[in-house]
Structure 1
């Protein structure tokens, strides 16, 4: 049973998914405490009349216990045949369709190369907390349980044409409907000539991370840790070091790890679809360079990814809203009046209409007492707040102005995951959370795709949680584990 991506699942969603079926993939990506696992045989739906066990919030459970449960669940599903490895190596054509929605792409393994090669372009900042969390999950389960989402300019190349041909002419392996009204279909490409043609088409292209920045950062951290651990083994300096997730709290995307993960001497047998899609190959050494032994690639040198040709299937870019718990709406609006024009509205609908018609930068503040639209910031204050080392385009983004001006200068707070809550797309949900927490919702317009692409091409990254590209891949259709890889 599938689920949305892990970062789109609320606590209430976790409980609903757990109650819906004992084999929902949420047990792997967001496990709760072990006592909450229903005592039913794999594949047996829960009786709706049963009272679900109380679930402790996942952050109450230590990382080690939390993801040991995910590892044990994965093993149990493999032993019971809930998950079965495909016999033949394949790439997977993945289609999402629904009212006004059609997106097709390829799911496979993408090669993890040095960011300096600019093969895969991040466009968004990351935070250490989510990286530590996903690193604990991947290290403990030795698996990529859900794909990241990449976009590339395919120019109607061979890969795109083959994707469309497969979807039009071949029977799918899987057809499934989800609660958002989308139909998901999956096909396997196993013909080696077709796989080779896809790789030849993709090899010299560049991709943008549309979704999954924290998971991509985790791929890179895990890759460095595994290389360091194996180099220590070769040098005879390795000492057994248990995985310590707290050591990862200070890791950034490309910082060296504090300590390596001890490589498992005998990985558990795990589910896997063989995945062979590589976006790039290592650059050839100059002819004059001394020959060195070729490094043997391991499963940690690749990461599970969905790659979509954005010219054939333009992405849907939506906004990500903020909620500031404990900052009452009246106080938030009062503080803003010294730097912004503040327009008052009675309800969310009126405020959203005004926001839609307002010139950027503009923000809608919402809470229990109504809504307030912020427009026309004081240019002197705004200019002083925005950093000189960023481009004018970066400084003009609404999320940049929020993180550099409104949050620290107007409201006196930092933009971090503890002080600022994130709500994807849903303005009603943002308002409800603001009311529940006695705080203020900050409603934003979505960024423009060309602005995001230009910022990434210039080597910059937009502030965290600035973009929500869609539709996102459903979790649970294709999984990858290191043991079989």
Structure 2
């Protein structure tokens, strides 16, 4: 059977209007930044609450509705009450009825640009992504690289079904080689003034244009058709798209919302996702780790010192940090023990630091991976979170892009939350109502 094409199609985006929502700048213009949010799984509980407090119409009110409900995820089994999803749906409909959100008048592919405080610029296209037939999702043009957990997939599926909307895009990378899709994105200024031009608290500038020319859409379609894409961020959302497609539960569910970036033109920034193991005594963790690896105490080391030691330790290696900020370097993991712990996996997979953590260290400590807390990119936040949880922080080095591709090329998947590709698209710039 022939592989379906990689297809990103125009749609009528659902966007914030120019009504008086958000905080006004000194110029009197709307500051759209207070309406935007990171992807739903990036902020921790306190950061999510800060987003919800920042503005009554911040997109997080839609994407993390359990933070608004006193029951949260607390039914005793980590499941969110259906009423929480219904609340998000009611909120979305109210915002549309009030004119806070409105669909654009004509279908568009949206050019989205992010420029970080460090001057890194990333541009890509937001559109609706054609999903492979439910009978053969593995033969589609989009490749995952990371395992998913059923709980988050079910969470995103329930939210999508309840709201009848795709609220945030999956982030895809593809080797575009500067083709027509890339040229259309890079030439966005010719479209005139951006629909959105704002900067978020992390000093990243966000600009959005609408590309509405059908002739350009056709050129982009022809350019993308033979290509494949890798999921950089949003594996659970993509899996939820696939489940919706398989169930046929809504019109339009044969497409998802995606942000597609040419990695040849804009190489991604690949960060790490650190772990916090609540209640794990670091001294006991160190002694247990010695049975499978070499463990070195970094006496008197600051966090930057420890990070430099980790960077120079070779692969795989990890840092353990106790609540007082004392560090131990775990390196030279016994290859035979790693092979015994993950016998069906390749050596390439077993040498991933997250694989060592999941298959070797966590079982030694008597913890399952799903019991760990995740902290994106910032090791200082992980150490602080370990202090609050009276546990141990595991500082994970970022994977190299070639490692990710090497695992995906073998048809394997990295452990959950192994990668933090960036810059990640902000939620709230453009959303999609299902037909």
**Per-residue Cα deviation, 1:322-351 (whole angstroms, up to 9, x for no partner):** 111111111111111222221112343332
Is residue 214 of structure 1 aligned with residue 236 of structure 2?
yes
Cα distance in 2 between the residues matched to 1:342 and 1:319: 21
Is residue 137–residue 242 contact of structure 2 (8 Å, CA) maintained in 1? no
Is residue 111–residue 301 contact of structure 1 (8 Å, CA) maintained in 2? yes
Cα distance in 1 between the residues matched to 2:63 and 2:372: 23
Q: 1:153: Cα distance to partner?
A: 0.7
**Per-residue Cα deviation, 1:455-479 (whole angstroms, up to 9, x for no partner):** 1122111110001100000000000
Structure 2 match to 1:447: 399
Is residue 58 of structure 1 aligned with residue 72 of structure 2?
yes
Is residue 412 of structure 1 aligned with residue 366 of structure 2?
yes
Structure 2 match to 1:24: 58
**Per-residue Cα deviation, 1:387-431 (whole angstroms, up to 9, x for no partner):** 2x22221122111121111112x223322x2x2111111101111
Is residue 400–residue 463 contact of structure 1 (8 Å, CA) maintained in 2? yes
Counterpart of 1:374 (choices 312, 330, 336) is 330
DSSP 3-state at the match of 2:162: helix
**Per-residue Cα deviation, 1:179-236 (whole angstroms, up to 9, x for no partner):** 111100000011100111111111111000000000000000011112xxxxxxxxxx
Is residue 129 of structure 1 aligned with residue 129 of structure 2?
no
1:124-273 paired onto structure 2 within 5 Å? 124-167=146-189, 170-226=192-248
Is residue 30–residue 58 contact of structure 1 (8 Å, CA) maintained in 2? no
Moved more, 10-19 or 124-133: 10-19
Structure 2 match to 1:328: 281
Is residue 145–residue 404 contact of structure 2 (8 Å, CA) maintained in 1? yes
Is residue 131–residue 140 contact of structure 2 (8 Å, CA) maintained in 1? no
Cα distance in 2 between the residues matched to 1:141 and 1:78: 12
Structure 2 match to 1:460: 412
Is residue 63–residue 136 contact of structure 1 (8 Å, CA) maintained in 2? no
DSSP 3-state at the match of 1:445: coil
Moved more, 104-113 or 334-343: 334-343
Is residue 84 of structure 1 aligned with residue 102 of structure 2?
yes
Is residue 339–residue 350 contact of structure 2 (8 Å, CA) maintained in 1? no
Cα distance in 2 between the residues matched to 1:57 and 1:337: 41
Structure 2 match to 1:230: none
Is residue 68 of structure 1 aligned with residue 68 of structure 2?
no
The structure 1 segments of at least 4 consecutive aligned residues displaced by more than 6 Å after TM superposition are none
Q: 1:145: Cα distance to partner?
A: 0.2
TM-score (norm 2): 0.86
Moved more, 193-202 or 158-167: 158-167
Structure 2 match to 1:9: 43
Structure 2 match to 1:349: 304
Cα distance in 2 between the residues matched to 1:201 and 1:379: 44
DSSP 3-state at the match of 2:121: strand
How many positions carry a matched residue from both structures?
Answer: 390
Is residue 150–residue 307 contact of structure 1 (8 Å, CA) maintained in 2? yes
TM-score (norm 1): 0.78
Provide structure 1 residue ranges, at least 5 long, that are not aligned to the other structure: 37-54, 227-260, 264-297
Structure 2 match to 1:106: 125
Cα distance in 2 between the residues matched to 1:177 and 1:168: 21
Structure 2 match to 1:479: 431
Bigger Rg, which one = 1
Is residue 348–residue 366 contact of structure 1 (8 Å, CA) maintained in 2? no
1:34-53 paired onto structure 2 within 5 Å? none
Q: 1:360: Cα distance to partner?
A: 1.3
Is residue 364–residue 372 contact of structure 1 (8 Å, CA) maintained in 2? yes
Q: 1:57: Cα distance to partner?
A: 6.2
Cα distance in 2 between the residues matched to 1:32 and 1:401: 32
Q: 1:451: Cα distance to partner?
A: 1.2
Provide structure 2 residue ranges, at least 5 long, that are not aligned to the other structure: 1-34
Counterpart of 2:378 (choices 426, 437, 442) is 426
Counterpart of 1:318 (choices 271, 284, 287) is 271
